[in-house]
Structures are given as structure tokens and as C-alpha cells.
Amino acid sequence: MSNKERVYNFSAGPSMLPLEVMEEAAKDMVNYKGCGMSVMEMSHRSKDFASIIETAEADLRELMNIPANYKVMFLQGGGSTQFAMVPLNLFRKSMKADYIVSGAWAKKAAAEAKRFGTVNVLASSEDTVFDHIPVPDPATYTKDADYFYICQNNTIYGSRYTWLPETGDVPLVSDMSSCILSEQVDVSKFGLIFAGAQKNIGPAGVTIVIMREDLIGFAPESCPTMLNYKTHADANSLYNTPPCFAIYVAGLTFQWLKANGGVPAMEARNKEKAAMLYKAIDESKLFRCPVAEKDRSLMNVVFVTGNGDLDKKFVADAKAAGLVNLGGHRSVGGMRASIYNAMPKAGVEKLIAFMEQFEKENL
């Protein structure tokens, strides 16, 4: 298998994975480390799989400096199931929660939470098509809220938080689906972090939840067993069959991250890649980025020409040049280059060169 046959894939998710990770998985595909079977075929109760899931957790803990009083869970149902699990498990006293609506995923999460309690939307940037992270007045925070919810990187609109709300004793919940492991975070500032794996970690099918232990165990009696974090925390993610193969590949990505300088090195590289691309957009006469400069995402770079037909031509021509999946989300159009950890700098350089060429030919 050669790198030459592969394209630069700018998909927002599922997205590009490190080639080394897939080659390692391919090498062991039908016979995992001499055990005579694939990871897909082995019992989740086997010694081999125990070692896979335990190593994956240990590596993630090391990469993110996860404190000992946090549980790490490998769940199913994607980020979207977390939109319900969070309120189901965290509403417990006032039955009130604060939400900042910075994009479509946060909006969906808030709508889901409304089924279970009172949702206070403290701020929203929907009226300007989520072109910035809205900043609520701290005086409006609900003092006795059961939790405070943010979506830290807005995959569709290309914005990210560069600050965190000071919520005091109110647990902060963050959807990090599209930014986990892209830059350093202080896990101790959060009550709960979740992330679907298919953006920056591995194949679809596993969702990572990092949860402070003292918040576990307060779901109501009516909470379905599988939606209760306590079920999975107590069973070390082995209450039922977990997504074994997805966890295995995620573990390989964690090893790849460790071998490549960990999160600090990824952060430096991600900032460099994003800065190069935003600079090219800002200096261009054809392209522009609709997102407020201070809130621009490091992972999902959104840009437009202002002409829908030209945007479509760009996406098609780029595809022909081996730069694929550059179309914006179906709800917004335009272009989006998702440049997660696995996207090498060379891919961003090739995109910039293509943009310059396209501008010359189409302006």
C-alpha cells in the first residue's frame, strides 16, 4: 500500500486517520499479534482484549493528563446519544441547566435536554449563522444549575472557544467531538467531557466520556440501564459488548500520538496548519472566512467565495486534484477544510497552492 494512492481527505467526519495507524491495524487484521484471530473476532472478555482496552485508557489518561478522580468510558451511540445521557444523568436537584448555543450541535443538545428539565439558553449566535462564539454575561448564569453545557468546537461553522465559562461549583460539560486531543485542556475544569471518535480519534462507533466520579450515580430510577453512566463506569465499559474494533483503532491512534510528541506537539502543529490556511484565505481576493477572527477553529476551516456556483466548482476541481471532501456542511454550503491531527502540513500546503491557482484562473 502506498501513500501515493491516497488523497488528502478534508472530511469533517468520519475523517482522515494517520496512515501508520491503519497500516498497523492492517498488519494485524486477520491475526492479531499471533493469537490466531482478528480483534473483530475475539471475545470482549478475553485477555487480549482486556489488554487492548486497558492500554487505550491508560494512554488516553496520559495524553490528556486525566486526574485519578475521573472515569474514562468507551460508549456507543455517538455524540448524539450524549445529548440525552448528559441531562438524564446530571439533572438531579434544581432540574435546571445553562446552555450556550454556538452552533447546530449545541442547539440539538439543548433541545434534547428540554425533554428532561429546564434549559436556560444564556447566549446564542444563531441570528448571525453562528459566525462567532456568543459570550453570556456571567451575572445571568443560573446559580443552582445542575450543569453548564458548551460545545467547544463547532464543526459545521468553524468556530472554537478560546476561553471557558467560570461556573464555580456548577459542573461544566463539554462536547469535544471535533477538538479532543487537538490542543491541551485542563480536564479538572470539567465535570464531563465527551467526544465521538470519528473526528479526531478513530473509526465511528465509539464515544469517549471522561466524567468526574462524584457526579456518577444520580440518574433517576427511570433511567434506562444502558443510558446510565454508572452502569458503564462500574463495569469499566464492559457491561455489554463494547465497540471492540473501534476501541482498538482508537488505542492505536493514542499510541501514534504518544510517539509523535503527544498533545503539545499536535497543538503546535495544528496552530501552524490553521494559521497558514487562514492567512491564505485572508490575503486572497477570492476567498473569505465568515468566522470572527478570535473564534476561528483550529480543526474546521470554513471559507466561501460568495458565489455558490464558484464554490461548487472549487470543490469539484479540488477533488480532481486529490483534495477531497472540501464541501461545507449540507446546511451551510461553501467550503470547509477539516484539518484534524492526522492531516499533515503537506496536505494544507497543497490546498493553499491549489487555492492560489484557482484564484488566478477564476477571479
Minimum CB distance to ligand PLP, residue 247 (Å) = 15
Structural contact between residues 207 and 182, judged by C-beta atoms closer than 8 angstroms? no
Under the criterion CB under 6 A, does residue 78 sit at the interface with ligand PLP? yes
Is 199 noted as a catalytic residue in this protein?
Answer: yes
Is 285 noted as a catalytic residue in this protein?
Answer: no
Burial class (CB in 10 A: 0-12, 13-18, 19+), 78: middle
Which one from 146, 175, 295, 311 is the annotated catalytic residue? 175
Q: Which listed range, 21-29, 72-80, 238-246, 355-363, lies at the site for ligand PLP (CB under 6 A)?
A: 72-80
Under the criterion CB under 6 A, does residue 336 sit at the interface with ligand PLP? no
Under the criterion CB under 6 A, does residue 55 sit at the interface with ligand PLP? no
C-alpha distance from residue 100 to each of 108, 150, 361 (Å)? 11, 6, 42
Minimum CB distance to ligand PLP, residue 79 (Å) = 3
Of 205, 194, 207, the residue nearest 245 (C-alpha): 205
In angstroms, the CA 10 to CA 121 distance is 32
Under the criterion CB under 6 A, does residue 175 sit at the interface with ligand PLP? yes
By three-state DSSP, how is residue 33 classified? Answer: helix
Helix or strand holding residue 262 (H, E): helix 262-283
Under the criterion CB under 6 A, does residue 171 sit at the interface with ligand PLP? no
Is 175 noted as a catalytic residue in this protein?
Answer: yes
In angstroms, the CA 48 to CA 70 distance is 25
Under the criterion CB under 6 A, does residue 191 sit at the interface with ligand PLP? no
In angstroms, the CA 292 to CA 297 distance is 10
Under the criterion CB under 6 A, does residue 183 sit at the interface with ligand PLP? no
Question: Quick one: which of 15, 102, 155, 200 contacts ligand PLP (CB under 6 A)?
Answer: 155
Q: Which listed range, 16-24, 172-180, 231-239, 308-316, lies at the site for ligand PLP (CB under 6 A)?
A: 172-180
Which one from 59, 105, 256, 295 is the annotated catalytic residue? 105
Under the criterion CB under 6 A, does residue 80 sit at the interface with ligand PLP? yes
In angstroms, the CA 324 to CA 12 distance is 11
For ligand PLP, the binding residues in 196-215 under the rule CB under 6 A are: 196, 199
| Cis amide prior to 14 (ω within 30 degrees) | yes
By three-state DSSP, how is residue 215 classified? Answer: helix
Minimum CB distance to ligand PLP, residue 343 (Å) = 16
Interaction site with ligand PLP (CB under 6 A): 13, 78-80, 105, 151, 155, 175, 177-178, 196, 199
